[in-house]
Chain A
């Protein structure tokens, strides 16, 4: 056999061996994977937080080790399940790349990574101060405006809190007037214009409002102003067309209001179900929990019944301390807007200092009660424990 043939045969044999080896590796690797299970993508992580990974393998004994990395820095080599490590991410919620590399005993490795979410915080002064706006109504749903601090109790995660400041709220309010201008509003749009326009007239000179017009797109028709004529002109210029994107409108309005200080409220009018939002309902509810904005929802038309459409507006309202109204005809809108105006003018502001020690991003329940018999108190239901993010 010539030398050339030997070389050729060796080459073929080498290739064969390589493919056998590769096939064996494929068998051994089959089902071998790793996943970072805690935290998950876009989680907010602060302080000491558990990082965990699960490794899938047909035979658990083939797992040699799991290496945990945070931003490319090796933080732990774990050789035994459960694969986990407690890591201190510091006080600020930052973007961290958390990676787990699982090593097969035969030298193969698989990787999984997640990225946490950064929140840019402004000043952290007075981070413990929580401001709540409370609306109190009697059994006939009329606002009660003669209560004292001692008539109230604030509970945080079931523990009573000392009220530091209390007053009837007289400071200006910032309002977002959201008008559903989807095609289905066509029949009633004139009455809507009239009722919303009258609502503008209830604002005090120092109050400000903006007009947001939404169908499947969301447009700011009038930015924040105290000019009643401009607000009314914006309201009456809206024209019904297209489908309905309530959640998109709420989402965009929250963003618009984020930079506004002080007491804020959204007055949302819609005649129906969300049909075209990209934003999910849960996301907007989450946002309403995070922001200190009162939501007043007005459901117009007979189609609400007691079903999920009603619950959407109720959820927004109850989470934030606002209120949901449902009317059958546009002619009734005037009195609803008047009730909202009355409530906004007769609110109480209560401040307390939270005693939570663990700023871990979890939800903190807050409840405002009154000792006055027969009254009902509405206020936001809580906040997320992130430093600098308490409602104030």
Chain B
């Protein structure tokens, strides 16, 4: 098994045992990127020499006996929505072409402090708007399990990078499923933490009240490890919550006694692919074998989740994306125009169609005369969706169902039908609206060898138990050990 197929935990162990150096590991992943990324197209930017230099420093630190961070010598890929000091950050949009942030996102700073090696920035749907990574203004990332198919989105580059062994771990962001859905489609583990668990400082906002950053990993242990590093209060983010971060890796293998799993009937309705459903049912049976109890629960308002989401998220986005106007940084039109004309042309030229569509939707939803009927009503329904979860969690510890209604779909299959594309997030969106935590773990393959993901949803700030529940299943199965042939 080559270095690049290993997990972060294994890479840490190899270094600790003196069997591999950070430089060797970094070289291996850089070689993997050089060799395979032309097929996968996961990276927007690769940190070659810099990554090696950081690796050399870490090796020297190790040699000198200095204390090393929890992720020492482990390369990590970062979604291009997170600001990285001195490294281009584009959100896969033409409007940020050439933008180099003067500061690091808090999560990036924490990873650096943990001695992780930033190996590159990954492709995404422009401004995290999409479910296939086809909305990138630069390139289309392929699903490592089938290059004709998409990796999911919007964090498709980060998911594909881990699945294709171009990086052992990566960071994505999840506003409506953008970590969990690509994790599911690429056969890896992805977590959307509770809103407020991870600082959003330095994440270029799509929808501020829904956005969270989370890790992609091959297995649950690595996920727990990254969560320990990136979670916690940040004085730079007023919405980050000041609550202690549990030692997730320490309790990971503690069995969850008397586990009650809520199974919402709304997650098994029309539109769910039969192969996916079969895999999920099998996974639930496995949990029963492990001693868990399945409980029927209902999330009656979940049918409104997609509608509510496309009002709340677009409303916030219409405001968040207003700053990209060609005045202070990023793309400015070459055409001669007055102030308003410069705004309009700069934005018209450099925003992709989906971004423009959402800005218009959101602007409309907030406009006077429509705000009550759309935005304010959506906020009320959002509260009802949250109430549904509160009621369900009275009866169960964790909710389970499919992460996505289908396995990876073909390139171009849904690009002309925004509504069909929006429905690929039907099971993930309500988690963001409710601000709770969610996670996707691999739970099988279709007949055509495409990964299927099981989604776990947990009450706010209950990641510790959710990770243990995920680990129970992982320990009894071997889906997480599969790697695609790229």
Q: Is A bound to B?
A: no
